[in-house]
Amino acid sequence: MPEILHTPLEARHTAAGAQLTEFGGWMMPLRYGSDLAEHAAVRERAGLFDLSHMAELRVRGAEAGAFLDHALAGRLSALELGQARYTLLLAESGGILDDLIVYRLGASEWLVVANAGNRAVVAEALAERVAGFDATVVDETEEIALVAVQGPASQAIVEAIGLESSPLDELGYYRVLEAVFEGEDVLVARTGYTGEDGFELYVPAHAASDLWDALVRVGTPMGLQPCGLAARDTLRLEAGMPLYGHELSTETLPAQVGVGRSVALRTKGDFVGREAVEAGPAADAPVLVGLVAEGRRAGRAGYPVLDGDAEVGVVTSGALSPTLGHPIAMALVTPGHSGSLAIDVRGTRIPVTIVDLPFYRRQERA
Amino acid sequence: MTTQYTADHEWVRAEGDAHVLGVTEHAQQQLGDVVYVDLPEVGRTFSSGEAIGEIESTKSVGELFAPADGEVVAVNDEVAGDPTLVNQDAEGAGWLVKVRFTSEPELLDAAAYQATLS
């Protein structure tokens, strides 16, 4: 087993009473107190997340754009400066090796952000696929800390820490800008994984504690609450956002799991996995659906989905929705079902209804 | 009244000829916010090691295991209506069931239970 990695903020988490857990090779805060309170803070005010476990790979070079177009499923060369995109790293088979956020930072510079647990897979695939291109890939995961502020009060909080930057009002969704915090370069991205407006701040690891402290100081009076992985998971589930290892895997093609739009079939040339994605999944391959139930008892990852007595799929993520107050789940089920199914919850059939994703959508800003 | 413990993170306390059972403070901390409890019916008989109840949090599901053979003589309806009692007072108001054992449970004292946690 490789050594467990520690975020530069671990001492802050411990001091705040966080329950730590191993996740993706890192010790991460699971919750600080009540995960329901943390979840509610993000929906109603703001939550503060340490996401330093996420992997950052910097791609530079004259042919960096062409390389990313070849290596990934999206047309990243088409990003404008300061634009971000959700994209996928595919295997030749079309299966998903990871889902990524890619930022364009310069004429010949991009930042690829991968899931902690897939860091090695992504680094290896990119190192292999860069051969023949005038470009370099550098894994900067341990030099970069990532802190996210998510929720309706997030803009006011990030503004209040005294960044030297252009006005955040002008920073659109899925855009990133360069800023300075106490002499340190910071990337401020209007991205996130909670279904709320929010910011992800990429900072040098040695500056993470000062940034965290500043956010806590100005944010606490505005209702900012440090949040752990437990809240992050229920937030993203309500927002219908897929999670690697649950909805996404090497066994699933993008079209099965609702991320087919991330694959730039029409607008770009060849890329790894193109042939398989073009051929598409088998007609009877399972598709991702949203399920809702009444009551309080949730179907959870791995539980069977039933149509009558037939097992037609499996839950990929499920919980009692803190915001909606009823159980929600995403599941991979064989195509063609409509209306009513059931989840086998440890021997009890819970009736569920198929619904469109997401389960929760925030009110747009006025 | 002396509280004893099981290796499955339950606490057990004698009350007359019956025993009160719940999940430990440590177990509730590990579970996180409890949002649902499923308790057995009064009169249900069970064997040692059988799961007789479920405690669901936002993140996971915990089971209440019977530490001996016996019968359920009462359940905590208050905790069924307000599962957060498990978080607030796991080893008091958040008790789950009262049982009458028909075999001898194997229980740990507080020190021995604490030792299993480290």
pLDDT score for A147: 98
Select from A19, A234, A320, A324 the residue whose CB has the most chain B CBs within 10 Å, as the one to mutate to test that interface. Answer: A320
Beta bridge pairs of residue A106: A109
What is the tens place of the pLDDT at every residue in B31-60?
999 999 999 999 999 999 999 999 999 988
Please tell me the distance from the alpha carbon of residue B77 to that of residue A74, in angstroms, as a whole number. Answer: 54
Please tell me the distance from the alpha carbon of residue A210 to that of residue A163, in angstroms, as a whole number. Answer: 13
Q: pTM for the full model?
A: 0.94
pLDDT score for A265: 84
Sign of CA dihedral A356, A361, A365, A366: positive
pLDDT score for A366: 47
Measured CA distances, A308 to A77, A305, A311 (Å): 48, 10, 8
Give, rounded to a whole angstrom, the gap between the first and last alpha carbons of chain A. Answer: 50
pLDDT score for A1: 57
pLDDT score for A363: 78
Q: E strand or H helix at B29, and its extent?
A: helix B25-31
User: In this prediction, does ipTM exceed 0.95?
Assistant: no
Measured CA distances, B42 to B18, B37, B71 (Å): 13, 15, 8
pLDDT score for A338: 83
Pick from A297, A320, A346: CB nearest B58: A320
Low-confidence ranges of chain A (pLDDT < 70): 1, 364-366
Put simply, the answer to whether A230 touches B35 (Cβ < 8 Å) is no
Q: Taking the CA atoms of chain B, what radius of gyration do you get in angstroms? A: 13
Phi, psi of A40 (to 5 degrees): -65, -35
Put simply, the answer to whether A230 touches B38 (Cβ < 8 Å) is no
What is the tens place of the pLDDT at every residue in B57-81?
998 899 999 999 999 999 999 999 9
Residue A233: its chain B contacts at CB < 8 A? 59
Using DSSP's 3-state secondary structure scheme, residue A202 falls into strand
Half-sphere exposure of B43 (CA within 13 A, CB side): 1
Using DSSP's 3-state secondary structure scheme, residue B97 falls into strand
